[in-house]
Amino acid sequence: MKKKQFVALLQIKDVKNKNRLLMKLSLSLYLLGCLQLSAINSFFQNKISLDVKDTHLEIIMQLIESQTEYHFIYNNDAIKTNQKLDITVFKEDLDETLQLLFKRLSIKYTLKKNHIILSTTKQNNTQEKFTLSGTIKDAATGETLLGANIIIKDKSKGVITNEYGFYSITLLNDSYFLQASFMGYETKEIEIVLDQNRKLNIELQPSANELDEVIISSESKSKSQVQSTLLGVVKMRGVDIKKLPALLGEPDVTRAILTQPGVSSVGEGASGFNVRGGNIDQNLILLDEAPIYNSSHVWGFFSIFNSDAIKNLKLYKGGIPARFGGRASSVLDIRQREGSNKKFKGEGGLGLLFSRLTLEGPIKKDKISYLISGRRSYFDLFFPLLGDEVKKNRVYFYDLNTKLTWNINDNNKLFASGYFGADVMKLNFDGYTQEDGTKTADEKINFQWKNATATVRWNHLFSDRLFMNLSGIYSQYNYSLSSQDDSGGGPAGTSGSFTWKSSVENWIFKPDFTFYQSPSSKIRFGINNTLYKFTPAKISSTEEGTNTVNFETEKGLEVAPYIEYEKKEKKFSINAGLRYSWFGNIGPHKVTSYDPAFSLSVSSILGTEEFKKGKVIKNYSGFEPRLSLKYNLNDRKALKIGYNRVFQYVHLISNTAAALPFDIWKPSGTHIKPLEVNQFSSGYAYDTSNNIYNLSFEGYYKTFKNMLEYKNGADLFINKNLETQLLPADGYSYGAEIGLHKNKGKLKGNVNYTYSVTKRKTTSSFINENINGGTYYPSNYDKPHFFNLTANYKLSEKWSLGTFFTYQTGRPTTQPTGRIVVDGITHLTYSDRNAYRIPDTHRLDLSFNYTPKGNPNTKWESNWSFGLYNAYGHKNAFSTYSSFNNNQLKTFQFSVIGSPIPFITYNFKF
Amino acid sequence: MKSLYKYISIVLISLLLISCSTEIALKTEFVPQTFIYGNLTNEASYLVITIQESVPVENTSNLPKPVSNASVALYTKNSSGTTSLVTGSFIEDNENYISVPLIAPIIGNSYWIEVTLQDGTVFKSVEEKLKNVIPIDTVTKVDGFTRVHFNDPVEDRNFYKLDVASSGNGISSWIYELSNDILFNGNENAFIEVESLLGNEIEATLLNFNYETYQFYLNIVAQEDAQSDGEEDEGGDPSQLFASPPVHLTGNILNTTTNRKALGNFGVVSVSRRHENIASIFPEEINNLIYYTGNKLSNTVIINTQGGPEPKLATQEFNEILSSVNTISLLKVNVHQAQTLNPQLFTNSEITFQQATSYDAESIEKLYKVIKYFKDQGKTVYVLGISFGAFMVQELIAEKGIDLADNYLIMVGRLDMNDTYWQGFSLGQDGHFENGITPVLVDQTEIVKKNMSKLAAGLGQNRYTQKLNQYPDLSKITYIYGKVDEAVGKLTQAEIDFLTSKNAKVIEGPRNHSQTIDDYIVEGFKEAFNIE
């Protein structure tokens, strides 16, 4: 303790600057040291008794010092100690005494260690305020760092950089020591004299290796939930995702998120993820701010995000700030890297499934940089070797991430980024010879689904304190299925081609402003404008007797202004926001009207009402309040409480266990109300001293209004009157999540346990069509007990071991209860929806990473990763199903992965 | 080395298909439920209503458990809204309740049943209207599927069930398919198809459902689909990933005592039936020479000899060309040419021009044989030739007589091909006409293309203004050409004058080769064959 202060004094003496304020500071620090020495022998007690009248403040302060081990620290210019006061207390707490004493004087006090630091709460006219702002970057690549800390030493003030690496802090005219830190980087200390508004761009050196990180990043609290005001926010970096053992060795964003508490999925291989009882369509998945509609390759097995191109991601599952909206349960904010603006670099990998390559570098040094990152699966390249039957087929998927960053000047930056990814299946089936000797036609099937996004963003500083980001975004998801017969001739046979296309498109225009009001507070405001275009189905066929079907496109406009206020104090922090969202369906469109006396059905159609182009057909709007409060019990303990309301105006229509790539999206409208979700949450965060362990405990209660459920036997395939197959539903979910992170040492990782309940009931006013008679039943992904363990163990300089273990309650299922006979054929009767559960599931994954010492003379670095997915080969049930054959009922358990899957990946960097 | 890669890729693929299914024990509680089922059709019959109670799944008997002492009543409402009891007298026979009177329902009226159990529980079906009967036009066999064609009414949403029973060679089997009319609403040539069964004697039944009953049958299909997956499987069944929740067999029956849906359905259904033999009725020697679609019993046959020349018999292009003309009730035939029957003779080595000429003669004989077969059956035969097919038809008429077929439609051909052009082709060159007049020749290297050029020259060398001059009247011919045809050139004035002098109809299109085909096929069929 004393040694540290001594070092600080020495450092200050070295400083050449002879600024008066600095001298004063050094003096008071010196004084502090002396006082501390003298305090060693003083009588330790914290109860104070005073009874003085018309006494100088200075004297009262001396009296307090004499009765406690505390000492006052203050600036003589700011605090007038010659004013006279009365005070009477008897065996009172120090805190109470100080409150009584200073509350009339506009003097603020802070207790730190055994110091009482005094400051004025009034605006001090003699001292002007100036703003320090700039960007924090990686010194090696020029990549901006998001969420890096800038701490004003000894002021216990700090800010973090925003999504674009920008920070701004306004302080009194003075000289300061800044500490800039970020996990995985060496902390940098900078002295600055703030006698005018200043720009300070800081570059941090990546730490040379993990061991250094342990020492240097002791201030960084990346897994700590104590700092963040918001509840339930998970942060991950691209490198964190790569450390997890992965299916076929392919680092995967969705699977990484599934290691977190409160996040579940229906089962292995199911697309998307469920956050705190929300459906998969309730996650706002943003890639460089562009919403993504289908986040999976290979029918749900792999996420579409290339971890090489990802800088970091943030999952908001509890406190969703007002700047986000449109999806009701969570926000997954993924940011792409910008590419090095210093030197050309590359990295890549060869795996069992994908090969990856990323190239980045400056176009103009320090000014313009690019990043291009692609992946392609390549097992189909081996198809020709598998014989004629397989040879003609093509099954592959690929994605491409690109980004261009232009640092125009300190006040302007331009980013352009794009994503394109597709799954392609081209299958050729040879015709076969029928019993009568004729041959059927060859058939070609071409099935593809694609995501494409394009984002252009402009960062502009209006002043040092007003930051603007203007985004123009286009996002599209589409799929197409075409088949073509090509008869080889023969007496009978026909031919025809058939294509089916469907898409959803978004155009977004979004100005966002941040005003840095004070070092501890900022205001964000802006407006999100989204134009949606849904093309449900376009079907054409050349075959005689078949029509061309072209379901009308649906257009929707969502406009959502918001304002968000964020303040962080020593004890209290608040993030309060209000969002107002308006959604309207825009013509031209024909709306079917139904007889209100009957449930929506083809037989209750009365007619259609036609709306002209540009006309608002139906609109919904509402206020969405967001509030998060945090109270710090001390530096390492915090209590949090929060409330959110979110409206959602687009819905994924899917009635299958795992969502299909050709499920369609549908906007709210005349027959479908917007989903409303309210969430109450509270939490407790605790960091052990020196931050080795971070513990968090959170609880939530969520209500869902106007979810979509499906009628018994719903027919959703190319259905023009989709609303006739839907039922409105309300639901609730609640749960408790406990997470423990270990951040340092050879063994790092986290364990978490979640208890949760997720239920819903259909609320049709025609009660006989309600599922389970209108009573609550568990959602498909309701898994009450959920345990995850992730660990990384550094075996040696070259070797490390990664493990992941999960245990989950089996998901609900519907089982047969009896039999009936229809036209001589046995059929089953079933229990209520989701009345039973499939067996519990558990799985262990292991990975070994080997990083050989590279040749120091070349830039080439490489590592090998290999391991086992589902290491002990447990057959985890995805579902159970029963069938009645040969007069006997048999029940089966279906496992997507029923054995251990080994993997090996080679990664390189240059 | 190759086998190593093969091994690797098999491993990779199997990694993705590592799923499996294993049998497990089912723990479930039995809940008895009542199931009520019956259909009323427009065909007069005794109405049968089945009432049964579900049995535990462990019960291996395939016999339904009857519910006795229930009372059943059938009600109707006519178009003016008057409700009346049709009958309340049913005879109990195990699980079946059979109406005492014969029921002859009226199209346009609504019907429903009420069932009261011994314990007083009342079930009622939702009123359903007896819809119009949709007659089956024809049954065809197409590419492994049996198609049932009908005229779908445009004003109504229709929901169909097609039952196809087939018998022959001592085997009989049946299959059904459900379909709404989204893909063919209002289409005169609408069809539903099922996989072809063994046997050529087809008994097709088309049921026109109300929506609720259709939904009930969809539920039955959903259950049957789920049942068919029920074998223990090493590879598992990845479709389980995308399984919908199990479907209750509910339809339009309501338990009015609890106001919940009950199992079962009472359908009011209009039915049409058609019996047809779909065996190929042509002798094998003809069967081997043709591709056909449509109604093979039709008295009118459209016979096409295809363009190109191509080494493959066109089927899709053939259908596409015909799709703009309403020919659903007719038989349409595309006849093989020498190079489509034996493509390997043309793909491997280069043929001589002399050989090409004799292959063309072979093709003419095949075309003649097919036309003669149908004429001998007493049918009306229309012959269509487009592009190279045009030359084929001209040669056919020149060699076999103008009275062979009833009418001829010749599109985008030439009577007297430009000499340099066909001579170039006879050497295996390719070419085109600039502005439809000036010939341009280009070399080509691919053997098969060279051979096809030679086949084209084999007919292009003939002067049809001379070869057809033998006939005083060519009024059976309709001739369509393009003014800027790049493939064969436009007709010269001499050619046009020849045709008009012989009373042939000549139509000029303003555009190129393929555009002329697209633009004038409809008009050509009208002019030549009087088919709209």
Tell me how far apart the alpha carbons of residues A731 and A759 are, in angstroms, rounded to a whole number. Answer: 5
Judged by CB atoms closer than 8 Å, whether chains meet at B9 and A496 is answered as: no
CA dihedral A358, A475, A315, A761 (to 10 degrees): -140
CA dihedral A12, A18, A21, A25 (to 10 degrees): 20
Tell me how far apart the alpha carbons of residues A25 and A155 are, in angstroms, rounded to a whole number. Answer: 12
- From residue B95, alpha-carbon distances to A443, A818, B64, B268 in Å are 47, 17, 7, 20
Q: Which of A845, A750, A861, A862 is nearest to A801 (CA)?
A: A845
The token duo for B469 is 């001059």
Contacts of A350 in chain B (CB under 8 A): none
Q: Which of A107, A103, A54 is nearest to A83 (CA)?
A: A54
Q: Are strands B34-41 and B260-277 parallel, antiparallel or unpaired?
A: parallel
Return the percentage of chain A with pLDDT > 90, whole number: 38
Interface predicted TM-score (ipTM): 0.71
Q: Are the C-beta atoms of A838 and B200 separated by less than 8 Å?
A: no
Angle at A339 between CA A333 and CA A344, to 5 degrees: 160
Q: Are strands A166-172 and A129-138 parallel, antiparallel or unpaired?
A: antiparallel
Judged by CB atoms closer than 8 Å, whether chains meet at B218 and A491 is answered as: no
Say which of A549, A720, A883 has its CB closest to residue B226: A883
Tell me how far apart the alpha carbons of residues B386 and A878 are, in angstroms, rounded to a whole number. Answer: 58
Q: Which of A882, A772, A892 is nearest to A826 (CA)?
A: A882
Q: Which of B354, B300, B360, B356 is nearest to B332 (CA)?
A: B300
Average pLDDT over residues A644-651: 96
Q: Are the C-beta atoms of A250 and A354 separated by less than 8 Å?
A: yes
pLDDT exceeds 50 at position A520: yes
* B309 upstream amide cis, omega within 30 of 0: yes
Q: Are the C-beta atoms of B476 and B407 separated by less than 8 Å?
A: yes
Q: B231 — contact with chain A (CB < 8 Å)? A: yes
User: Residue A24: what pLDDT?
Assistant: 39
User: Residue A21: what pLDDT?
Assistant: 38
Residue type (1 letter), B29: E
Strand partners, A676: A647, A705
pLDDT band at A389; cut points 50, 70, 90:
low
Summarised one tens digit per residue, pLDDT across range B410-427 is: 888 888 888 888 888 888
Q: What is the DSSP string of A706-760?
A: EEEEE-TT---TT-TTGGGGEEEEEEEEEEEEEEEEE-SSSEEEEEEEEEEEEEE
Summarised one tens digit per residue, pLDDT across range B192-218 is: 888 777 777 788 999 999 999 999 999
Residue type (1 letter), B16: L
Q: What is the DSSP string of A262-305?
A: TEE-SSTT-SS-EETT--GGGEEEEETTEE-S--EEGGGTEES-
Judged by CB atoms closer than 8 Å, whether chains meet at A875 and B236 is answered as: no
Contacts of A269 in chain B (CB under 8 A): 241
The residue that leads in pLDDT, A470 or A267, is A470
* Binding-face residues of B in 34-53 toward A, CB within 8 A: 35, 37, 52
The DSSP secondary-structure symbol of A433 reads B
Say which of B31, B227, B292 has its CB closest to residue A817: B31
Distance from the A229 Cα atom to the nearest Cα atom in chain B, whole angstroms: 39
pLDDT band at A597; cut points 50, 70, 90:
confident
pLDDT band at B229; cut points 50, 70, 90:
low
Summarised one tens digit per residue, pLDDT across range B444-467 is: 888 888 888 888 888 888 888 888
SS3 A866: strand
Tell me how far apart the alpha carbons of residues A287 and B531 are, in angstroms, rounded to a whole number. Answer: 58
pLDDT exceeds 80 at position A184: no
Q: Which of A515, A442, A422 is nearest to A483 (CA)?
A: A442
Tokens 């980024």 -> residue: A417
* Binding-face residues of B in 109-168 toward A, CB within 8 A: 141-144, 149, 157, 159
The residue that leads in pLDDT, B161 or B2, is B161
Tell me how far apart the alpha carbons of residues B6 and B1 are, in angstroms, rounded to a whole number. Answer: 9
Tell me how far apart the alpha carbons of residues B279 and B301 are, in angstroms, rounded to a whole number. Answer: 18
Q: A452 — contact with chain B (CB < 8 Å)? A: no
Residue type (1 letter), B250: T
Tell me how far apart the alpha carbons of residues A727 and A712 are, in angstroms, rounded to a whole number. Answer: 10
Strands, E assignment, B327-406: 331-335, 380-386
pLDDT exceeds 50 at position B4: no
pLDDT exceeds 90 at position A445: no
User: Residue B326: what pLDDT?
Assistant: 72
Q: Which of B293, B279, B532, B161 is nearest to A496 (CA)?
A: B293
User: Residue A193: what pLDDT?
Assistant: 80
Distance from the A560 Cα atom to the nearest Cα atom in chain B, whole angstroms: 35
Mean pLDDT taken over chain B: 83
Average pLDDT over residues A142-150: 83
For residue B232, the surrounding DSSP H or E stretch is none
Q: A720 — contact with chain B (CB < 8 Å)? A: yes
End-to-end Cα spacing for chain A: 44
Residue type (1 letter), A802: G
Q: What is the DSSP string of A44-68?
A: ---EEEEEEEEEEHHHHHHHHHHHS
The token duo for A732 is 């609730």
Mean pLDDT taken over chain A: 83
The token duo for A6 is 């001594």
How far, in whole angstroms, is CA A442 from its chain's centroid?
Answer: 47
Q: Are the C-beta atoms of B168 and B213 separated by less than 8 Å?
A: no
Average pLDDT over residues A572-596: 93
User: Residue A126: what pLDDT?
Assistant: 54
Return the percentage of chain A with pLDDT > 70, whole number: 87
Tell me how far apart the alpha carbons of residues B112 and A334 are, in angstroms, rounded to a whole number. Answer: 58
* Binding-face residues of B in 473-532 toward A, CB within 8 A: none
pLDDT band at A441; cut points 50, 70, 90:
low
Judged by CB atoms closer than 8 Å, whether chains meet at B63 and A544 is answered as: no
Tell me how far apart the alpha carbons of residues A773 and A789 are, in angstroms, rounded to a whole number. Answer: 40
Among A115-119, A162-166, B32-36, B138-142, the range with the most confident prediction by mean pLDDT is: B32-36
Tell me how far apart the alpha carbons of residues A329 and A320 are, in angstroms, rounded to a whole number. Answer: 9
Tell me how far apart the alpha carbons of residues A810 and A879 are, in angstroms, rounded to a whole number. Answer: 9
User: Residue A382: what pLDDT?
Assistant: 67
Which among A397, A432, A782, A827 is the top mutation candidate for probing chain B, defined by the most B β-carbons within 10 Å of its own β-carbon?
Answer: A827
Q: Which of A127, A119, A198 is nearest to A157 (CA)?
A: A119
User: Residue A437: what pLDDT?
Assistant: 54
Average pLDDT over residues B333-343: 84
CA dihedral A25, A30, A36, A38 (to 10 degrees): -130
The token duo for A734 is 């609640």
Q: Cβ of A34: how many Cβ atoms within 10 Å?
A: 10
How far, in whole angstroms, is CA B526 from its chain's centroid?
Answer: 24
pLDDT band at A510; cut points 50, 70, 90:
very high
Say which of B183, B215, B236 has its CB closest to residue A546: B183
Tokens 């914290």 -> residue: A46
